[in-house]
């Protein structure tokens, strides 16, 4: 079973509010992310919310996503990652970590990550877009402990860089999904 973890606890300081609840084509950004992961075959999907976890729950009503709360989102992305990974069932074989502010995640990329993982002995599978490595990233279940030990706001970037050939790359002939970090970004993705 391959699950999903959506990191949606950021404080949205550059955006000026809770960006994951901003709407694109009438739907909250976080809902776009969850729907794309589900369309990519991931189940269950755990969403890590912060101060706006109740709003995230409302935005995800009717989906199968489970919302868990990071009580200290100021501790950085790694804290949310550890909480999300800890909330996954023990039976999960692998999980895809996605950012809650990327409504343009492609379900086909999610499927390609999963297929590559199934065909390899990789500890992680990362997409490499036209502009370079990006998100979402798939991790084998054996990476839980290393991810839980991370600190700061860099997520798993440094860990992935240190893993060498245990990371398999999937070439994606497209631009990386855009992060919504500002109002201009929101308008650029159709919000």
Instruction: Return the SS3 of 176.
Output: coil
CATH no. for residue 28?
3.90.550.10
The whole-number pLDDT of residue 183 equals: 77
The whole-number pLDDT of residue 151 equals: 74
Helices 29-39, 107-118: inter-axial angle, 10-degree rounding: 40
The whole-number pLDDT of residue 17 equals: 63
User: What's this model's pTM, rounded to 2 decimal places?
Assistant: 0.93
d(CA 136, CA 90): 21
CB–CB of 12/100 below 8 Å? no
| Torsion sign, CA atoms 19, 61, 58, 93 | negative
* C-alpha closest to that of 43 among 65, 26, 61: 65
* Paired strand residues for 96: 4, 138
Overall domain count for the chain: 1
Q: Consecutive 10-residue runs of the chain (191 residues): their mean pLDDT?
A: 92 66 89 96 95 90 94 84 94 96 95 96 94 92 90 76 91 90 76 65
Domain that holds residue 176: 2-188
The whole-number pLDDT of residue 160 equals: 87
* C-alpha closest to that of 76 among 10, 146, 139, 134: 10
């Amino acid at each position: 079973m391959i699950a999903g973890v959506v990191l949606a606890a950021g404080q949205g300081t550059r955006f000026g509010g809770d960006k994951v609840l901003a709407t694109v084509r009438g739907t909250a950004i976080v809902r776009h992310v969850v729907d794309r992961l589900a369309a990519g075959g991931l189940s269950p999907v755990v969403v890590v919310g912060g101060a706006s976890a109740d709003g995230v729950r409302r935005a995800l009503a009717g989906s199968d996503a489970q919302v868990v709360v990071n009580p200290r989102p100021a501790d950085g992305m790694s804290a949310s990652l550890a909480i999300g990974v800890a909330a996954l069932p023990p039976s999960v074989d692998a999980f895809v970590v996605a950012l809650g502010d990327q409504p343009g995640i492609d379900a086909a990329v999610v499927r390609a990550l999963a297929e590559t993982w199934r065909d390899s002995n990789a500890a992680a599978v990362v997409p490499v877009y036209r502009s370079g490595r990006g998100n979402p990233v798939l991790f084998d279940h054996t990476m839980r402990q290393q991810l839980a030990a991370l600190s700061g706001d860099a997520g798993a970037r440094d860990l992935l860089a240190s893993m060498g050939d245990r990371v398999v790359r999937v070439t994606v002939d497209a631009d990386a999904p855009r992060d919504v970090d500002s109002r201009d970004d929101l308008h650029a993705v159709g919000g």
